[in-house]
């Protein structure tokens, strides 16, 4: 019994770390226009909309975060093998992984923007300087929290995988959670405010992203503020719940039966599928497809 209570405590802690990681990951990727909002940012100059949005495309989010977290975990593992204290090892590993992330981000922005020279999109060096550092800071939080979580899972819950492999698995999961949950907030609610709500993105509006702010011109830091409000917390809850339920079912139900966690896992998925379906139907009924206003207001 005591072991289960200890396990649940670790599970809650891991879930909390995962929530922080998810939130930071989504803000980082939205500032860099990574993931699905990227296609429109990439397209905008080709349609004549020159912009000051950061555009760092390093694969999709899941493979990119698979690398950052696996790298952070691998370096931390190597430092621990050199008899360095685990906390220091995880901090150093994450910092070096963030260095790699920052270098990749700068080369991605320079490469893509230089290749769009034909459409008159200049390279804005101030964007590179101010936004790369912000994405690096967020990436550090995401990587550190995830590697720390993996270390907890191994050292406190006795997971048999080595740290780098667990880092790879959870890094891909982190990227997938941020990409699936957070990006729609940014892509559809922020980039396309020029379109009417619910109108979708017709081909004629492709690339017509929001480039000007209430005052002055918008850059990706403004998108960071927006993401930190909605998309980030949503991604955080998503990844936190994934980690929590994943560990909770094993910690609690493995005692009773070896098949217990698997049955509970299937049950949890079913419950979430029913909730998702209910929310979708409710939203469709209440907000519906876009229709023209019935009467012109004054």
Binding mask of the shown chain, residues 68 to 87, with x at each position contacting other proteins by CB under 8 A = --xx-xxx-xxx-xxx----
Interface with other proteins (CB under 8 A), residue from 116, 145, 150, 241: 116
The Cβ of residue 95 has, within 10 Å, a number of other Cβ atoms equal to: 15
> Is residue 142 part of the contact set for other proteins (CB under 8 A)?
no
**Cα–Cα dist 262/252, whole Å:** 12
Q: Tell me the number of residues near other proteins by CB under 8 A.
A: 57
Total residues belonging to the chain: 298
> Is residue 114 part of the contact set for other proteins (CB under 8 A)?
yes
The Cβ of residue 298 has, within 10 Å, a number of other Cβ atoms equal to: 3
Could you tell me the two tokens for 132?
A: 């790369």
Question: In the Cβ-directed half-sphere of 223, how many Cα atoms lie within 13 Å?
Answer: 39
Could you tell me the two tokens for 81?
A: 């093998």
CB of residue 198 to other proteins, shortest distance in Å: 24
Give the residue with the Cβ less far from other proteins, 164 or 236: 164
**Cα–Cα dist 35/46, whole Å:** 19
Note whether 143 and 72 are within 8 A (CB): yes
Could you tell me the two tokens for 248?
A: 């909770």
Note whether 38 and 15 are within 8 A (CB): no
Binding mask of the shown chain, residues 148 to 167, with x at each position contacting other proteins by CB under 8 A = -------------xxxxx--
Give the residue with the Cβ less far from other proteins, 38 or 181: 38
Nearest alpha carbon to residue 231 among 6, 1, 33: 33
**Torsion, Cα of 214, 219, 225, 230 (10° steps):** 90
21-60: contacts with other proteins (CB under 8 A)? 47-52, 57-60
Task: Considering only the stretches 25-33, 114-122, 137-145, 197-205, report the one whose residues sit in contact with other proteins under the rule CB under 8 A.
Answer: 114-122
CB of residue 129 to other proteins, shortest distance in Å: 8
CB of residue 252 to other proteins, shortest distance in Å: 28
> Is residue 273 part of the contact set for other proteins (CB under 8 A)?
no
Give the residue with the Cβ less far from other proteins, 118 or 285: 118
Interface with other proteins (CB under 8 A), residue from 87, 125, 199, 279: 125
Could you tell me the two tokens for 110?
A: 């320079």
CB of residue 107 to other proteins, shortest distance in Å: 6
Give the residue with the Cβ less far from other proteins, 150 or 242: 150
List Cβ neighbours of 108 (8 Å cut-off, separation of 6 or more).
55, 56, 57, 58
228-267: contacts with other proteins (CB under 8 A)? none
Interacting residue ranges for other proteins, rule: CB under 8 A: 47-52, 57-60, 63-64, 66-67, 70-71, 73-75, 77-79, 81-83, 96-97, 100, 103-104, 107-108, 110-126, 161-165, 168, 211, 217
């Amino acid at each position: 019994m005591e072991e289960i209570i200890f396990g649940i405590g670790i599970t809650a802690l891991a879930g909390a770390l995962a929530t922080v990681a998810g939130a930071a990951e989504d803000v980082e990727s939205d500032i860099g226009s990574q993931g699905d909002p990227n296609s429109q940012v990439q397209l905008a100059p080709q349609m004549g909309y020159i912009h000051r949005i950061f555009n760092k495309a390093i694969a999709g989010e899941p493979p990119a975060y698979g690398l950052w977290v696996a790298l952070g975990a691998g370096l931390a593992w190597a430092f621990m093998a050199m008899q360095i204290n685990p906390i220091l090892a995880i901090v150093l590993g994450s910092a070096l992984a963030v260095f790699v992330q920052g270098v990749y981000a700068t080369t991605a922005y320079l490469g893509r923007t230089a290749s769009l020279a034909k459409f008159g999109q200049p390279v804005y060096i101030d964007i590179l300087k101010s936004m790369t550092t912000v994405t690096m800071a967020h990436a550090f939080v995401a990587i550190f929290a995830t590697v720390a979580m993996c270390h907890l899972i191994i050292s406190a819950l006795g997971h048999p995988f080595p740290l780098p492999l667990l880092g790879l698995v959870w890094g891909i999961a982190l990227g997938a959670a941020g990409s699936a949950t957070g990006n729609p907030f940014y892509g559809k609610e922020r980039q396309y405010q020029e379109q009417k709500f619910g109108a979708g993105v017709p081909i004629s509006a492709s690339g017509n992203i929001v480039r000007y702010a209430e005052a002055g011109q918008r850059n990706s830091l403004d998108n960071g503020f927006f993401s930190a409000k909605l998309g980030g917390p949503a991604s955080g809850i998503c990844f936190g719940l994934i980690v929590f339920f994943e560990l909770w079912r094993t910690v609690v139900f493995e005692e009773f039966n070896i098949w217990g966690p698997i049955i509970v896992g299937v049950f949890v998925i079913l419950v979430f599928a029913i909730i998702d379906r209910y929310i979708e139907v409710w939203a469709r009924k209440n907000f519906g497809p876009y229709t023209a206003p019935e009467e012109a207001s004054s």
